[in-house]
Amino acid sequence: MSGPSFLPLAFTVFTPLVGIILLALMRTLALAGWINLALAVVEFLASLVMAWGVMEQGTLLAHGFQIDSFNVYLVVLTTFVGLTTAIFSRPYMAEVCAQGRITRQRMQLYHSMFQGFQFTMLLALTTDNLGVLWVAVEGATLATVLLVSLYRTPESVEAAWKYFILCGVGIALALFGTVLVYFAAQQVLADPENGLTWSVLYAHARELHPTVMAIAIVFLLVGYGTKVGLVPMHFWLPDAHSEGPTPVSAVLSGLLLNVALYAVVRFKMLADGALAASTMPQVAGHLMMGFGLVSFLVAVLSLQRQRDIKRMFSYSSIEHMGLMTFAFGMGGPLATFAALLHMLVHSLTKSAIFITVGHASHIAGTQSIERIRGLIRTQPSVGWGLLLGVAAIAGFPPFGIFTSEFLVLSATMQSWPWLTMLLLTGLVTAFAGLFRNIHPMVYGAVPEGQVAVRANMLPIMVHMALVLWLGLAIPGFLSGWLNEVTLLISGKGML
């Protein structure tokens, strides 16, 4: 077997599996935090070695795993955000535990399931088998549902129940879609065992039965779309993000939504191939555009009236996922490239924002927007962090989100000019809503007795520096990967 070695990939994916068991048994909580961090470091380093191998030698295809230029950067992103969140979560959760909000047993559960979530995310990204992809995405729900209800308040139990039921139903529809794809594959493939292997299916995409694939893509889009947070299946998302502990919100928003969208795009590639010769070649793309645009607009409007800071940012996540879905749906090299870049910069920025919000709500002792005031005087680092984060997420230059949103807008201008106005209005409205709320939180008068907390700003600074870097110059290897994926998805390269 030529090509890159399998070993770094195995280390990346299976380290968290070891972590689940190890941390579930670990009774010394202080040590468990450090072990969680150490595991995250191992995962990150292994994924870097793996990415290096893929960069040098090209696609890796072995033992049912597949790493091509589409998922390689998402794997590195996942382990990286996992690492920075682990750095943040160690002192943060220790503080929460010291305050008596959660018991020691639940702390153990938290660490174990943090790794469990990492495992399912990495498995979903790296597997070549669409069935295993489904199992992993469902596994991610199961791993995080108890984390959402970690505080055991009536609100958090309700949020977790909603999350469980809605995502469970959604993902069940996705399984029906997967069964239909398997059914279509059996009509064309000689060996039915390969009927769910994405790389084999992709090679035979043109022979798959178009009608079956058209029905399948509807189920898949609605199913995985529930996890992406597309309207009208989005109701779980703000609840789960606002009631769960902050590190969980950071990884949910930064990673889970991306992985679900990744699944949708993989299936879209198959459906586009199958439907290319039929009477409705664009059906998958148009569906995605519709869902994406509606999600974007609904989220922009809902964002305006939120009173909980984490709810507000979770609507912002729906807005950005809607924009990406729209861009992927539009197809074309420019839009696809923009969407891929947007996945990267959004998840870096959003996880940084959630981490900052965690510190801010510890300072103020509440998540209510009306009662968080004067952050920049109390603790300048948190205040500035929040301000810069929001500037980045709202699409200010020179941050990376400006670049990707600009590309999406140009692509829309090219192929659907009349939709550009809707997008622009939406972006401006979102910006206005965010700043109206952020301004008093950062600059307002300091409430009496508000003191600074111990905050490790390193993860936030690294994330923001990366987003800034991506806004100014995209490194050659990354743009090479993004370009290759663009070629794979839209049939034409961007560069």
Partner 1 sequence: MNLTQLPLLEQAVFVIAALALMASFALLAQTRLTASIHSFAWQGASVALVTALVASINGIHHLYLSALLTLALKSLVIPWMLHRLVRRLEMEQQVESITHPALVVLTGAALVIFAYWVALPIERLEMAGTRNIIAVSLSIVLLGLWMMIARHQVVAQVLGFMSMENGLFLAAVASTRGMPLVVELGVAFDVLVAAVLFGVFFFHIHESIESLDVDRLNRLTEQEQQP
Contact 226, 238 (CB under 8 A): no
Among 302, 317, 437, 483, binds partner 1 (CB under 8 A): 302
Structure tokens at 358: 């965690």
Distance set, CA 172 to CA 138, 158, 177, 306, 316 (Å): 9, 21, 9, 31, 26
Among 368, 410, 414, 415, binds partner 1 (CB under 8 A): 368
Q: Residue 453: what residue type?
A: V
Among 35, 42, 173, 303, binds partner 1 (CB under 8 A): 173
The minimum distance between CB 343 and partner 1, in angstroms, equals 26
Among 14, 52, 182, 443, binds partner 1 (CB under 8 A): 182
176 binds partner 1 (CB under 8 A): yes
The region that residue 68 occupies, defined by phi over 0 for left and psi between -120 and 50 for alpha, beta otherwise, is beta
The minimum distance between CB 239 and partner 1, in angstroms, equals 5
Among 7, 31, 158, 397, binds partner 1 (CB under 8 A): 158
The closest of 133, 123, 280 to 201, measured between CA atoms, is: 133
Q: Residue 253: what residue type?
A: S
How far apart are alpha carbons 382 and 26 in whole angstroms?
32
149 binds partner 1 (CB under 8 A): yes
Count residues contacting partner 1 (CB under 8 A)? 56
Among 215, 413, 422, 462, binds partner 1 (CB under 8 A): 215
192 binds partner 1 (CB under 8 A): yes
Please, what sign has the CA dihedral across residues 139, 299, 280, 491? negative
Distance set, CA 74 to CA 3, 127, 133, 212 (Å): 20, 13, 15, 30
How far apart are alpha carbons 72 and 84 in whole angstroms?
19
How far apart are alpha carbons 298 and 318 in whole angstroms?
9
160 binds partner 1 (CB under 8 A): yes
How far apart are alpha carbons 307 and 393 in whole angstroms?
19
Please say which residue, 234 or 342, places its beta carbon nearer to partner 1.
234
Among 79, 115, 129, 253, binds partner 1 (CB under 8 A): 129
200 binds partner 1 (CB under 8 A): no
Q: Of the ranges 20-28, 268-276, 305-313, 426-434, which one interacts with partner 1 (CB under 8 A)?
A: 305-313
Q: For the packed helices 29-57 and 69-98, what is the interaxial angle rounded to 10 degrees?
A: 170
How far apart are alpha carbons 19 and 32 in whole angstroms?
10
The minimum distance between CB 360 and partner 1, in angstroms, equals 16
Q: Of the ranges 298-306, 405-413, 419-427, 484-492, which one interacts with partner 1 (CB under 8 A)?
A: 298-306
Please say which residue, 307 or 492, places its beta carbon nearer to partner 1.
307
196 binds partner 1 (CB under 8 A): yes
The closest of 212, 146, 214, 151 to 183, measured between CA atoms, is: 212
14 binds partner 1 (CB under 8 A): no
- By CB under 8 A, the residues from 224 to 283 that bind partner 1 are 239, 243
Among 25, 38, 278, 307, binds partner 1 (CB under 8 A): 307
Residues that bind partner 1 (CB under 8 A): 64, 129, 131-132, 134-135, 138-139, 142, 145-146, 149, 152-155, 157-162, 164-165, 168-169, 172-173, 175-176, 179-180, 182-183, 186-187, 192-193, 195-196, 209, 211-212, 215, 239, 243, 302, 305-308, 311, 366, 368, 370-371
